[in-house]
């Protein structure tokens, strides 16, 4: 499932990242890498996706979140 499809309080793991080099550099520099566990804090339509990852609250725009494949744990 895509990160944009997760619900609040869902715990999951990053499965894959899809995008160009610029996207990959930005995402990995903030700690979003394959295998990392996260918790969705908020995911409202047309709003950024908020996730808690590596003891940090991260806000992702929906276009970026759509490129991140996750699985529930």
pTM greater than 0.85 (yes/no): yes
pLDDT at 38: 98
Strand 68-72 relative to strand 37-42, pairing: unpaired
pLDDT at 33: 96
pLDDT band at 60 (very low <50, low <70, confident <90, very high): very high
- 11-25 confidence digits (pLDDT tens): 999 999 999 999 999
Cα 57 from Cα 59, distance rounded (Å): 7
pLDDT at 69: 98
- Measure the N-to-C terminal CA separation of the chain; round to a whole number of Å: 12
Counted domains in the chain = 1
Domain containing residue 7: 3-72
Report the CATH number that the domain containing residue 30 is assigned in CATH.
Answer: 2.30.30.90
CB atoms within 10 A of CB 46: 5
Contact 57, 48 (CB under 8 A): no
């Amino acid at each position: 499932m895509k990160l944009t499809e997760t619900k609040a309080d869902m715990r999951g793991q990053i499965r894959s990242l899809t995008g160009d080099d610029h996207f990959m550099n930005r995402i990995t520099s903030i700690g979003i890498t394959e295998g990392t566990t996260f918790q969705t804090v908020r995911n409202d339509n047309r709003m950024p996706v908020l996730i808690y990852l590596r003891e940090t609250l991260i806000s992702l725009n929906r276009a970026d979140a759509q490129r991140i494949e996750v699985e529930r744990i």
